[in-house]
Amino acid sequence: MRADPAASNASREAQEGIGELMSGLVIEREILIEAPAEVVWRTITEPAQMSRWFADRVDLVIEPGAHGYMGFGDQGGQVVVEEVDPPARFSFRWNHPEGQEPVPGNSMLVEFTLTPAGDERTLVRVTESGHELRDWPDEEKQRYAGEHRDGWGEFLDRLAGVLAQTRPG
């Protein structure tokens, strides 16, 4: 039996469409910061520091399993700390339905990875995932990814600015 070339092309086009959708859903940003990893770590994990560049209101204990709150103006919500590995990794889950514990499929995972780039510089990578697993229309997943990709770019720029202000000289 011979394969139907039209069916083969349709299958390939469908797979390419899924690949384009998934690549469009990636939320990952990086920035090289002129500060040592230990300084960057404190700025991304201490609530008083986080409110200088990220959320307006941060009520959070930085330990795995801790429940807290982050507020952004008139928006905000509960967060749950996932991983704390100073000064290299910090992650939390957010945007989960009220009254439910955040798990893969009902929440987003935000992961910060800090990589020293010499003694006085740090590469900061933030990745947000989980929206691709939500039971949302593809357009909603794309909208979320685009908005949050842009937002993380702005927040990382603000982080760099805050750290530049604290550097001597």
Q: Which domains are seen in the chain, by residue range?
A: 26-166 (3.30.530.20)
Whether 9 has a pLDDT exceeding 60, the answer reads no
Residues 145, 24 contacting (CB under 8 angstroms)? yes
Q: What are phi and psi of 157, to 5 degrees?
A: -60, -40
Whether 3 has a pLDDT exceeding 80, the answer reads no
Q: What would the two tokens of residue 54 be?
A: 């990220």
The per-residue pLDDT for range 39-63, each reduced to its tens digit, is: 999 999 999 999 999 999 999 999 9
Half-sphere exposure (Cβ direction) of 66: Cα atoms closer than 13 Å: 16
Whether 19 has a pLDDT exceeding 50, the answer reads no
Residues 114, 40 contacting (CB under 8 angstroms)? yes
Q: Which helix (H) or strand (E) holds 18?
A: helix 5-25
* Average confidence (pLDDT) over 73-87: 94
Whether 30 has a pLDDT exceeding 60, the answer reads yes
Residues 107, 96 contacting (CB under 8 angstroms)? yes
Cα separation of 102 and 42, whole Å? Answer: 25
* Average confidence (pLDDT) over 93-100: 90
Q: How confident is the model at residue 23 (pLDDT cuts 50, 70, 90)?
A: low
Q: pTM of the predicted model, to two decimals?
A: 0.83
Residues 61, 84 contacting (CB under 8 angstroms)? no
> Residue 44, SS3?
helix
Q: What is the pLDDT of residue 165?
A: 87
Q: What is the pLDDT of residue 26?
A: 83
**Cα-based angle 72, 57, 158 (whole degrees, multiple of 5):** 65
3-state helix vs strand vs coil in the chain, percent to 5: 40, 30, 30
Please, where are the H alpha helices in 28-169? 37-45, 47-53, 138-166
Tell me the percentage of the chain whose pLDDT exceeds 90: 72
* Average confidence (pLDDT) over 23-35: 89
